[in-house]
Amino acid sequence: MPLATFEIEPTEPQRGSVIWMHGLGATNHDFDDIVPLLEAPWLRFVFPAAPVRAVTVNRGMRMPAWYDILSFDNPALREKASDVREAALEVQALVAREHARGVAYENIVLAGFSQGAAMALHVGVRSEQRLAGVLVLSGYLLLAAQFEAERHAGSAGTPFLVCHGRHDPVVPVAGGRQAYTRLKEAGYPTELAEFEMQHSLCMEEVSRIKEWLAQRFA
């Protein structure tokens, strides 16, 4: 069953689309208030809702989650790989849907926060097409051992913006820095922006995102 989405349509001639994934336990309305601040009325914003599933590290509680988190302590067993791959197919289907609606792949941005950021990064490097860009907000690299083997040559040239709070107690800044380093080493045009915040967004970060989106669609 396709992911449910909440969408904000452009109010000016459309130049592209942003598919934005929310974080663990959140909803696809978490970033409604951000859109006007980005001052990009020429973009369609698509906010998918993650399926509800049991999350092991939260004592099996059911909540919106892109994948089950198995452990915070063992990176090799951190996320359930089958969940990640299933969610990736659903996000890829949204990218294909935007393309079918007339948006060129190179005008589609993947974005996300926390778990959603991890998904945006995961799908972005495996894309068979170069995208307009990938926004990784307080995220990290999923299935890190498979990064080199699974990244697709078609994604070469896709720009990444990795944003992270230096005082993040949920996803430590080391996770964002590791993702940035791996992307740079793989040849992706990647920028790292760190902010004096915890696991959240701040106005300085919103301004950086606004600037980055404007550059993608100049």
The C-alpha atoms of residue 17 and residue 169 are separated, in whole angstroms, by 31
Q: Which CATH superfamily is domain 5-216 in?
A: Alpha/Beta hydrolase fold, catalytic domain (3.40.50.1820)
Residue 76's pLDDT is 67
- Listed in sequence order, the DSSP H helices in 127-202 are 147-150, 173-185
Strand ranges, E, within 35-119:
43-48, 52-55, 61-64, 108-113
C-alpha to C-alpha distance for 117 and 121, rounded to whole angstroms = 6
The residue to which tokens 């991890």 are assigned: 118
User: Which are the catalytic amino acids?
Assistant: 114, 168, 199
Render each residue's pLDDT in the chain as its tens digit; 218 residues.
789 999 999 999 999 999 999 999 999 999 999 999 999 999 999 999 999 999 999 999 999 999 999 988 776 678 999 999 999 999 999 999 999 999 999 999 999 999 999 999 999 999 999 999 999 999 999 999 999 999 999 999 999 999 999 999 999 999 999 999 999 999 999 999 999 999 999 999 999 999 999 999 98
Residue 3 near residue 49 (C-beta atoms within 8 A): yes
Dist CA 200 CA 191 (whole Å): 19
217: left (phi over 0), alpha (psi -120 to 50) or beta: alpha
The pLDDT of residue 148: 96
**What is the distance between the alpha carbons of residues 170 and 164, in angstroms, rounded to a whole number?**
11
Please give the pLDDT value at position 77. 74
The pLDDT value recorded for residue 37 is 98
User: Sheet harboring 160-165: ordered strands across?
Assistant: 5-8, 43-48, 16-21, 108-113, 133-137, 160-165, 190-195
Q: Hey, where are the domains in the chain?
A: 5-216
Give the whole-angstrom CA distance, residue 127 versus residue 95: 10
- Whose CA is closest to 140, among 167, 174, 108, 93? 174
User: How remote is the C-alpha of 110 from its chain's centroid?
Assistant: 5
